[in-house]
Amino acid sequence: MYNLRLLRQLRYSLVLQNSGTALTHLPPCRLLAGQHKRRPQLGAIPSDQLDRLKSEYFERQCALSNEDWQHVRSTLTESYRHVNGTNVDAIILGLCSRAEQLPVAKSYVKHLQTQGIKPNAATMGRLLRVYNAAYHTRELSEAEQSEIVEICDTLQSAHDVLDASSCENLILGLVATTQHWNRALPLLDMMRLTSTPSVSAYSALIAKAFSADQLELGWRLLEEMIEARKLPKCEVFLSLLAQSAKDERTLGAQLERLFCFLELHDILISELVVQQLLALAQRLPQRLQVTTTRLELFGKCSTCQQNLQHVAISDAQFAELRESFLQKVLIRNDVFQKTTPQELQRFKQYVEKTAPYDCVIDGLNVAYSTGTKKPPAQLAKLLATVVRYFKERRKRVLVLGRQHMRNWSKPAMQYIQSNASVFLTNNLTHDDPFLLYATLRSGQDTDFFSRDLMRAHAHLLGTELKAIFRRWQQEHQYSLVTQTQTGQIIVKEPIRYRLSAHKVGNVWHVPYCEAYTANPPESFEVPDKWLCITIAP
């Protein structure tokens, strides 16, 4: 085994000798410390030099000479400690990844081949991504498509099973071809061997299926993507709209299907998609009317003057939701990892005895709303203030908490117990299922108080019931915004009209956002931007 300390000292002594510095002038303990501090600086390339490299070589839209590429390659490997002979090629292709830089990227791969260097899978994968970028700006030539197929053949023949990243690269390459994009479908299955297919892989393949007029395949993959909790990119909806616009007879049906999909999954489209909808309406005014609009007080559309639909669910939907919650959320194989059968039974008996309630409060969630480091007396006082908020409105309240709350401030806890029903679980129990059970068990008119968005519980219900649960949650969830310095609380009350795409009469109201984001917030905030849409029958 090498003595690392000795090697470092030897290396440092050589540096000092080469620089003319006497080794004996520095004590041994300073050698390692000084070397460690200066090491990141050794060979560091100034940012302005990197900018010069980019502007001189990578901003071009044409091939570079072998001499130019050799200079770029050696500069990067010699100047950056994290760049080496293994990853430098993929890094270089990453620096010329824009659509117009395809000739530059191809010339670098050709340079490697002329030097007898075989590009690795990561490098060729990056090249496929550049082809994909070019495909989004223009139709690729037959020669370019043949190059893509050749790269994919080479990569697939080298390995029986590809990793998820390589599969994604091949999918992005194959969808840029006209005749071979179907070869990407088995690659999606291959990705599932090790992980869930990525947003990019799903979106690229779905968009290609739509543009190739394979609408049912596109919709099937789109539903599968949503089930995997992945949000489709804008290209999916842009491709669907472009394909739908080719047949005016079926345009209305395709738009209805799209808006119903947005409604069911509570998806906000981006301004990029909105612009295509507006352009489509301008081109086909007899088929489609699209207007950007805003909401007035109480959810009234400023364009059509209709009020958005009330968010409440029907009695039948509520009954189905309550029954499914008991089976899919509260009574699960792993439920007793969070509680015990005895405690669950004790809680259900308590609810049967004391329900119905007007509001169920998650005591710990409320107490910790303004910070978890506060003393127990402050936590108890905040919870008591929330109980008082509902007591003053003549509401019957259940407070859920944990056993350790018995040690909190006695005056505040006595007020809570005098003005609310209180059930304390053991200190390891997960509160949310208990909270939702008590709320649902109490009936359609019962609200609950918590800042938790209940994402995991909603997902367990499945696609159809998740949408119903979200509507019920929006109508019934209160939460604490803040507490003022004077001790007053500001409570966020439920918004009573729908916040997702939906139809009022024959008019669709579709919310949208400025730009796509893979993980949008799931809070119940009123979108600022809406479309008012009428589709001709």
Question: In which element (H, E) is residue 157 found?
Answer: helix 142-158
- For the chain, the residue count is 537
Tens of pLDDT, residues 394-406: 999 999 999 999 9
Peptide bond before residue 356 is cis, with ω within 30 degrees of 0: yes
Tens of pLDDT, residues 47-75: 566 677 777 787 766 788 999 899 889 98
Cα 217 from chain centre: 24
pLDDT band of 96, cuts 50, 70, 90 = confident
- Residue 359, pLDDT score: 98
Q: Are 174 and 184 in contact (CB under 8 A)?
A: yes
Closest CA relative to residue 110, chosen from 149, 53, 62: 62
Question: In which element (H, E) is residue 168 found?
Answer: helix 164-174
CA pseudo-torsion sign 201, 274, 240, 179:
negative
d(CA 17, CA 13): 6
Instruction: Classify 347 in phi/psi space as left (phi over 0), alpha (psi -120 to 50) or beta.
Output: alpha
Which residue blocks in 39-79 are alpha helix, DSSP H?
A: 47-53, 66-79
Which tokens go with 67? 């001499």
Which tokens go with 339? 């509680």
- Residue 181, pLDDT score: 98
d(CA 337, CA 342): 13
- pLDDT above 90 for 37: no
Question: In which element (H, E) is residue 421 found?
Answer: strand 421-425
Closest CA relative to residue 464, chosen from 308, 261, 309: 261
- 505 or 3: which leads in pLDDT: 505
d(CA 174, CA 125): 11
* For range 334-350, the mean pLDDT: 76
- Give the count of alpha carbons within 13 A of 220, CB side only: 6
d(CA 447, CA 360): 6
d(CA 465, CA 445): 19
Residue that is written with structure tokens 């364009």 in the block: 303
CA distances from 508 to 242, 293, 497, 535 (A): 20, 12, 14, 8
d(CA 76, CA 91): 9
- pLDDT above 90 for 293: yes
Q: What is the β-pairing status of strands 269-270 and 507-513?
A: parallel
Radius of gyration of the chain (CA): 31
Question: In which element (H, E) is residue 270 found?
Answer: strand 269-270
Q: If you write DSSP's letter for every residue of 281-338 in order, what string do you get?
A: HHH-TTTEEEEEE-EETTTEETTT-PBPPB-PPPHHHHHHHHHHHIIIIIS-TTGGGT
* For range 28-49, the mean pLDDT: 40
Q: Are 134 and 92 in contact (CB under 8 A)?
A: no
- Residue 517, pLDDT score: 92
Q: Are 77 and 87 in contact (CB under 8 A)?
A: no
Instruction: Classify 371 in phi/psi space as left (phi over 0), alpha (psi -120 to 50) or beta.
Output: left
Closest CA relative to residue 203, chosen from 163, 241, 179, 238: 238
Which tokens go with 391? 């007591």
* For range 285-303, the mean pLDDT: 96
Which residue blocks in 194-287 are alpha helix, DSSP H?
A: 199-211, 215-227, 234-244, 248-265, 271-283
Least confident of 57-61, 126-130, 132-136, 217-221: 57-61
- pLDDT above 60 for 335: no
Which amino acid appears at position 457 of this protein? H
From first CA to last CA, the distance across the chain in angstroms is: 80
* For range 293-315, the mean pLDDT: 96
Tens of pLDDT, residues 145-178: 999 999 999 999 998 999 999 999 999 999 999 9
* For range 496-504, the mean pLDDT: 96
| Strand, helix or coil for residue 203 | helix
Q: Are 112 and 126 in contact (CB under 8 A)?
A: no
Tens of pLDDT, residues 225-240: 999 999 999 999 999 9
Which tokens go with 216? 């049912």
